[in-house]
Structure 1
Amino acid sequence: MNVVAMVKMTLAMAIFGSIGFFTVNTGIPAEELVFVRCICATLILGGMWLFSGNYKKEQWSRIEVVRTIICGVFLVLNWVFLFKAFDEMSISVAISIYNLAPIFVMILGSFILKEKMTVTAVISVIVCFLGSVLIIGLEQFSSLSALFNSGFVWAMLSAICYALTMFVGKGITHLSAYALTFVQTIVGIVMLFPLMNFGVFHGLTGWNWFYIIGTGIIHTGFVYYLFFDSLRHLPTIVVSALVFVDPVVAILLDILILDFRPTIIQALGIVLIFGGIIYTLVKPSKQITE
């Protein structure tokens, strides 16, 4: 086990876990914040990619570039929807729903790739669905307006877009992680520029700018550097386990700093969601017979 790589990955996930806290203190809408994030990622990661000389080793192909662009669209939408969810609901609830992405990947594989659902997969989907209902509250499902105002739809769309990013990205095998992210963030800049209202940046406080720049430089540039630099040195199962550092930190910050106090039902919902996801990772699969 590469201890340095593990420390880097853990640090990356821990820092990323604070992104919700930063987001709610920026004072700007989700679209503008993601635009800043894309610019920072393009400059920082693109600079590292060029400075290292790795761009000379890239194996470009039309199909992989197309896949990368599609991934970029889903990645940017994922960020925008997640930040919108932070504006409407507690960070803990939004992050819990957001982390349903691996479950959606399984469902997509079943419907699109005709992969057989396993007993483990079916149990996980049911458990995570129940957890989602409990964490939002049954009263939020009483009407469409209540559901939209709760932020549930934004969080769910964010999880779906993240799942689509992972699903489409599975077919990209030759481009490096730096090339992949560089192209995706360029896509984000092109997508969001026509929607920008630069007036939202006027009248911001020094602390607003601290959180905005922090989200761009720290949570995108620095965190992605740590993530990519350690990813290739760690086995998949270790990466899958360390990913859970992110939501744990997010929930702890929400409780300790933003005074989020989950009800017993919400706490049960959080446990069910992460229990279902962890069950998927560690439980041997038994395929359902046709």
Structure 2
Amino acid sequence: MPKSNTSEKGYFFIISALLIWSSQGIVVRASKMPVASLMFYSLVVSLVIQSFIFLRAPIRKGLPSARGFFSIFVLSVLSLINTLAYFYAFSYTSISNAVFTHYIAPIVVMLMAPIFLKEKITMTAVLSVSVASLGLWIIMRDVSVLDVAARIFSTGAGSTGQRFKPDTIGIICGLISGVAYGAIIIVLKIISDNNNKYLVVFFQNLFVVMLLMPFAGQTPATAQSLWIVVAIGALYSTVATYLYYSGIAHVGANKAAILGYIEPIGAIVFGALILSEMPDALSVLGGVLIIAAGYIVIKKG
């Protein structure tokens, strides 16, 4: 398959995964379950589904090496940190603060890719990150970088308790999730060429389940929460993850990170369709800029 067609296929897979993930905030909120419990039981569901793929003979014969298992374990820890921190950011601070801080990930990737992946920092990547960041800032315009920094580092009256109020904790969680998300992209890019994506997803989820087991809590108590757990396990932890891992094998780390800005656009669309939260004119402008950044990546990539 020609390289350009392969890249286009990779872009399609990544964008599809991001659009699926963009709806998870609505689903998570509807579950009314503790974050750790929701993650644990949904991943158990995904493991049951993925085991049918894992048990296929051609897949079993391609088990990762010891180094591959270690890389997948590192990926699992980063995934756990990313998801927990992101969900807790939503719990402690505004959605604007959580999303704004989480999407420092492309900056993290841009700084790490030359070191770990030998990817050059191109003008296209710089331009795309700048345009997408401006678009996100317009959408989340009630918070600024200076505001975030002030809330984290402000000493107030000098009291540690005043310094780390719930809002500040949420902002710190958002930053942690953004750094973890950026690191996930780097690790995925490193291991994608030498490991079967189905095995990577299976063992990643298995490791996360093992890490979360002490904090699982009670099983879903209502039919609604049970169906949500099944939906998250099947759609977000299986289908979307497979799509993303398939796509990143054909797309550079910087490009994959920049395309991540599509996720908040999807969240706005789902909010408008499901919650009737219609975006204003400035939010639409911000969304157009983010889409333009994605177009630059795909067209110039």
Report if TM-score (shorter chain) is over 0.5.
Answer: yes
Structure 2 residues without counterparts, runs of 5 or longer: 153-163
1:170 alignment partner AA: K
Task: Give 1:120 shift.
Answer: 3.0
Residue 185 in 1 paired to residue 205 in 2? Answer: yes
After TM superposition, the structure 1 = structure 2 runs for residues 278-289 of structure 1, keeping only pairs within 5 Å, are 278-283=295-300
Query: Is contact 1:45–1:182 with CA below 8 Å preserved after alignment?
Result: yes
Equivalent residue, structure 2, for 1:17: 22
Q: Deviations over 1:234-257 (max 9, x none)?
A: 9649x9699777544322111232
CA spacing shift, 1:96–1:257, aligned 2, 3 Å: farther
CA shift digits 1:68-107 (9 cap, x unpaired):
2111111122222232244456768756765553443122
Structure 2 residue aligned with 1:287: none
Aligned to 1:44: 49
Aligned mate of 2:181, from 162, 165, 170: 162
Which of 270, 274, 277 is matched with 1:260 structurally? 277
1:84/1:151 contact within 8 Å kept: yes
1:118 corresponds, among 88, 104, 122, to 122
Query: What are the superposed Cα offsets for residues 143-196 of structure 1, whole Å, 9 maximum, x if unpaired?
Result: 2257945944433432321221121222223220011112211221122223x1
Q: What SS does the corresponding residue of 2:41 show, helix, strand or coil?
A: helix
Supply the distance in 1 between the matched residues of 2:172 and 2:288 (Cα, whole angstroms): 20
Q: Which moved more, 1:120-129 or 1:145-154?
A: 145-154
- 2:73 paired with 1:69: yes
Q: What count of residue pairs does the alignment treat as equivalent? A: 277
The answer to whether the 8 A contact 2:261-2:290 is kept is no
Q: 1:137 aligns with which of 130, 136, 143?
A: 143
Of 47-56 and 275-284, deviating more is 275-284
Q: 1:227 to 1:131 in 2, by over 3 A?
A: closer
Q: Distance in 2 between matches of 1:264 and 1:149?
A: 29
CA contact (8 A) 2:86 2:177 kept: yes
Q: Relative to 1, partners in 2 of residues 1:110 and 1:132: Cα closer, same or farther, differing over 3 Å?
A: farther
Q: Is the 8 A contact 1:101 1:159 kept in 2?
A: yes
What's the % identity of the aligned pairs? 25
